[in-house]
Structure 1
């Protein structure tokens, strides 16, 4: 079929320009953790100061943060309080409706485009296949994934397994769902690991700190004890966001002053979490460009320092990707995978882009579990990824 011809000489996707980056690009710091000036909110520990003494470094500073006004990520989504409902027990229908609403910008383009494409068609011809290919590329499904889908569908058409446009439409949904096969692995907290350490990484501005707050609330709703490590020491707002979130939800936050060694903060946090037998420790890290070698090396250092306290940590390296960056998210993911061995992905800001098809490109090329997707600003809008529901929502069907 002629519609494949231009794929044969297709060039790799062009990377979009790198985003501004706030992390300092100075030299490396030594691996030895510096346990100085660690900030731990006193409100997090209540009145049981004796049990806390063993886990706070001798020279740590214990502070009681004021209600800080926020300009950053968590402020835009609303700081979550302990009384807010996470909605983990909502109905299947309610979840699906929220998912469709969150994916509205993608589905408006995708499902309407597909609907128009198939409307009134009585037979499958080359024009239909070419237009179908175009719709997939517009949705940012990616050249490689689109090629595989179209080749499979074309073979089925030639064997008359798909006899009419309606059968092709159903076949497309099936192929998209199968493309997500590698992503169907939800995050499972190993309760034998205390703490179960989640290291959150990604470039600047993808929503790491917001994601951490929402994850912490989700784990709390499941009855787990949670601690946060403010490892993004280069952006003052990131530390403040986690501290305020912790204050309002009675979650301990381990932090140091702006510009401190991130590995030192996370070392202190692992020590404190071990002493308190915390279920889940979520560690924030500074945003960094995936093509800056010295900054990526700092992540390796964080992992090495964790290993001095727990050889199995981190138990999850969660890469946060912004859906709006499109195909550039793939180059980011490959770079982080090489450096720290990503084990799961969270895709944020799906509600703010018409390029929700990037989910398929991620699954195809990276073959990593997609743990969560962000489809809105509310706490409930960070959802465990359900592949079949995602595909159904794209096609605006139940």
Structure 2
């Protein structure tokens, strides 16, 4: 009996051992393989807050005021822009300039004119100072005048007068020669001609001035500078940008006007220039200004259609009021070639005055005499540089003084 019980116990123990091995192997298969060098990470459950007697002592932390606390996600309010920044964003009004007074302007610019022009006067004085004035010398004097673009007929007249006066004078000191030459040149240029730019109307409408000329003579710039001359003399001005073929011309004229506080009337690009000129005169009359300056498009004197259009601009403007002044702008450096242009313009519109630009460059002073003789109208204004106030009323005495020097 005891043997049987022992056998049963041994069998149970054996069965238990076999079962343990099976269970252990199963557990080992279910575990994921781990790297030999890795250490398992144990994540502790979140700690629960302690209450009552188990609560921890409160830690001292810096405290913030209610003004310093912001809501989550709320952006900090932006500081209001400074008044200076707001002022910078607004477009600044153009500063109104005060043009240089026109009285004596050519005298102030005399040195600039003399630098390029006094070769004529010095050449004549040198020739007249020779001890014997023979025919060869008089021919040299004549050539000097012709080279200076004086023109054939005026040159012959001046030489004849000089010969007569030198013969009567006899002995010739440098001072006497300078005085003699000055008197004859002033007479030749024409001291008694009316050179005032007519800007006053007999009616209750503004004075109307048209500015005409070929391409590249500086009409738009001259119109802007003329506005400065008039403003300097206390006149109020409206500018008419009737050069509609170039948008840049209207922009340029408007800039000139803004600098002296003059209003500019302009139309659409490639629009009817006569319509713009008409509107400029109309607005000028409504505003009660003194003068309306009309800048026309540059045109070649050989283009019949464009020249006819220029005549149309003048006719349309005169439906409101007569044009008081038509200024022809000529580039003085073109010399005798400019006379052909002048002649054609005079046939289309009634030229009343001449503006010679670039007279301080390579121009020859005799062109003043030649163009006056060709058109029968006086030179009224001359351009002596690129500056805003370098357009000056023409003064014969100051001009001749620049020619012959001191």
TM-score bucket (shorter structure): 0.7 to 0.9
| C-alpha distance in 2 between matches for 1:372 and 1:291 | 25
Show the counterpart of 2:212: 201
| C-alpha distance in 2 between matches for 1:118 and 1:139 | 17
Match 1:112 to one of 89, 97, 122: 122
Match 2:365 to one of 353, 356, 360: 356
Deviation digits for residues 158-185 of structure 1 (CA, Å, limit 9, x no counterpart): xx32424555554333222112226442
Kindly indicate whether the alpha-carbon contact (under 8 Å) linking 1:102 and 1:351 is maintained by their aligned counterparts in 2: yes
- Local SS of the residue matching 2:326: strand
| C-alpha distance in 1 between matches for 2:401 and 2:270 | 45
- Local SS of the residue matching 1:271: helix
1:275-294 paired onto structure 2 within 5 Å: 275-294=286-305
Show the counterpart of 2:151: 142
CA deviation after TM superposition for structure 1 residue 100, in Å: 3.0
CA deviation after TM superposition for structure 1 residue 215, in Å: 0.9
Show the counterpart of 1:235: 246
Aligned: 1:331 with 2:340: yes
CA deviation after TM superposition for structure 1 residue 137, in Å: 1.4
Show the counterpart of 1:18: none
- Local SS of the residue matching 1:345: strand
| C-alpha distance in 2 between matches for 1:320 and 1:192 | 25
Show the counterpart of 2:80: none
1:112-191 paired onto structure 2 within 5 Å: 112-119=122-129, 121-157=130-166, 160-166=167-173, 170-181=179-190, 183-190=193-200
| C-alpha distance in 2 between matches for 1:383 and 1:229 | 22
- Local SS of the residue matching 2:289: coil
| C-alpha distance in 2 between matches for 1:188 and 1:354 | 27
| C-alpha distance in 2 between matches for 1:256 and 1:372 | 28
1:1-398 paired onto structure 2 within 5 Å: 82-89=96-103, 92=104, 95-107=106-118, 109-119=119-129, 121-157=130-166, 160-166=167-173, 170-181=179-190, 183-190=193-200, 192-193=202-203, 194-310=205-321, 312=322, 314-397=323-406
Kindly indicate whether the alpha-carbon contact (under 8 Å) linking 2:199 and 2:209 is maintained by their aligned counterparts in 1: no
Unaligned runs of 5+ in 2: 1-90
- Local SS of the residue matching 2:296: coil
Q: Which has the higher contact order (CA 8 A, sep 6+)?
A: 1
- Local SS of the residue matching 1:302: helix
What number of residue pairs does the alignment pair up? 311
Seen in structure 2, the aligned counterparts of structure 1 residues 364 and 230 have a Cα distance that, compared at 3 Å, is same
Deviation digits for residues 340-389 of structure 1 (CA, Å, limit 9, x no counterpart): 11011111110112412101111223221211111112233211111111
Query: Of the two, which has the highest radius of gyration?
Result: 2
- TM-score normalised to the size of structure 2? 0.71
Unaligned runs of 5+ in 1: 1-65, 68-79
Deviation digits for residues 289-316 of structure 1 (CA, Å, limit 9, x no counterpart): 1122111100111111112222x2x110
- TM-score normalised to the size of structure 1? 0.73
Kindly indicate whether the alpha-carbon contact (under 8 Å) linking 1:206 and 1:321 is maintained by their aligned counterparts in 2: yes
CA deviation after TM superposition for structure 1 residue 253, in Å: 0.6
Kindly indicate whether the alpha-carbon contact (under 8 Å) linking 2:99 and 2:231 is maintained by their aligned counterparts in 1: no
Deviation digits for residues 168-220 of structure 1 (CA, Å, limit 9, x no counterpart): 55433322211222644222432544210000000011111111111111111
Seen in structure 2, the aligned counterparts of structure 1 residues 95 and 324 have a Cα distance that, compared at 3 Å, is closer
